[in-house]
A and B are shown apart, each in its own frame.
Chain A
């Protein structure tokens, strides 16, 4: 009862703040611009992308369809979404401390753990809604504008073709996975917001951690290879695994297949562990914190 009241109140506060809508506006603007760009000049982009394959394959149909567009946009966008998540999650505790409302909240008959859980759940709901919004723009509007067909994913050494009837569930799974990845960012940002009395600090700290970890991921040095499996950023792009398919002996796609499901599940598990770790630490430390703001 108290938990749901907190979630309701926190969501009310989140959606009454103008800054919340920056993220929704940014997603709409970026996706809209990319779609406009591809709509106007997408054919030459695709010809350039298909250059190395055009001698070996004869590709027919609507290559630049909504499914491929959504994939391209998600690759570009999901790297930047953590900032939009941190904008709200990093403000959940530190913003209250800065305003002085944290002490008002804690003079009310609620336990600190309920408050933390309620606030984090509200940040989680915001994250889900933002990703749902992103899904509507990237997938929904891309399908509406560019239509549907089989999906071709171009990689450096291979081309993956996924038949159109086998795509939608992969997107649903990919968005769920992306939710988990962004929830990890929200949990990290939320945890960092315990230590600050303004929201800039946790937002900057979250982005700094993600940038440093991402750089470590890209450096193929033996020292970093050992730590990579433990960095949550390594697993955040695990959603792409849903678009890696297996083929039969005739080199045809096996419907409903995922090339390396254990790796995808393992990445999901590691992200979930991070969420539990950050949230658990937040509850433990907040429960012992003296409120001096």
Chain B
């Protein structure tokens, strides 16, 4: 559905995006990860032709974005950074106005259906200036969805949202992908968010690709890195040293023990410590994308 080849964007001598190539398959949720300033938004702006690349090629639906921009954008819906709309208009008026710009026949029923999908039906006639951040975000997504696009691009869609808002957006992404068969590209620096919704992902750092692939494969669930906090870390370390995990300990500092084990080992380790009257305050998997991401980007930093 989307192929990006050797994409570059330089602002003077600053390389915002440097030789980036990746592809997105139809129907998948594609996570686009990177720290703030990594080049995610610049890349997304290039995908939407808001920014002209210094060089490289972008192909969407098998067509070149630079040659068939208007036909391509008719099939794309996007929220770039903030969900900005006209504050002096109501949510419904905004949606109606932007739907006209898709140049497709969109019925009033479709407008209300989209508002219902994002949970704004009851507040549709309120002016946007009284909307909360979460409501503005949902309206922005409604604007992106109203013309029934095949590809949806959401740039940092959970920015500034409360936990309920984040969960709502996550559920909406899953609904769009799994129930409606849409292809979704979602960027975020909240890595746990990507972990929960994405099928594939791309991590970029300082404009360069760090890694791309299937989320589950990249996280390698065969081996879990555990962070352990107990009532007696010294005794815990001694017991672990006498057990089969003796060589699995990676570090022990600041009241935390970090070790590697398989999924079965988590329960066994907990059981062993409890049997020796050691209270386990926290037993946490570090196999999150966050840990993975930090290990990769730190490695890149060193390189």
Q: Interface of A with B (CB < 8 Å)? A: 1-2, 5-6, 8-9, 12-13, 16-18, 99-101, 103-111, 288, 290-292
Can you give 21 contacting A-B residue pairs, CB < 8 Å?
A5-B100, A5-B101, A9-B97, A13-B97, A16-B86, A18-B88, A99-B86, A99-B87, A100-B81, A103-B84, A104-B80, A104-B143, A107-B48, A107-B50, A107-B78, A108-B98, A109-B70, A290-B50, A291-B50, A291-B51, A292-B51
Residue ID in chain A nearest B9 by CB atoms: A290
Given contacts A288-B52, A290-B52, contact A109 B86 (CB under 8 A): no
As a 0/1 sequence over residues 225 to 241 of chain B, the CB contacts with chain A under 8 angstroms (1 = contact) are 00000000000000000
Interface core residue of A13, A16, A99, A108 (most chain B CB under 10 Å): A108
Enumerate chain A residues within 8 angstroms of B140, measured Cβ to Cβ. Answer: 104
Q: Does B171 contact A (CB under 8 A)?
A: no
Task: Indicate if the CB atoms of B103 and A104 lie closer than 8 Å.
Answer: no
Task: Indicate if the CB atoms of B50 and A106 lie closer than 8 Å.
Answer: yes
From A6, A8, A17, A108, contact of B102 by CB (8 A) = A108
**How far apart are the CA atoms of A107 and B101 in the complex, in Å?**
10
Task: Indicate if the CB atoms of B70 and A104 lie closer than 8 Å.
Answer: no
**How far apart are the CA atoms of A101 and B80 in the complex, in Å?**
10
Per the CB 8 Å criterion, the residue count for chain B at the interface is 32
10 closest residue pairs by CB, A with B? A100-B84, A108-B101, A291-B50, A109-B73, A109-B70, A109-B74, A290-B51, A107-B48, A107-B78, A101-B84
**How far apart are the CA atoms of A105 and B85 in the complex, in Å?**
10
Enumerate chain A residues within 8 angstroms of B51, measured Cβ to Cβ. Answer: 290-292
Task: Indicate if the CB atoms of B71 and A109 lie closer than 8 Å.
Answer: yes
Mark out the residues of chain B between 83 and 98 whose CB falls within 8 Å of any chain A CB in the assembled complex.
Answer: 84-89, 93, 97-98
**How far apart are the CA atoms of A12 and B80 in the complex, in Å?**
24
Task: Indicate if the CB atoms of B97 and A104 lie closer than 8 Å.
Answer: no
Task: Indicate if the CB atoms of B97 and A107 lie closer than 8 Å.
Answer: no
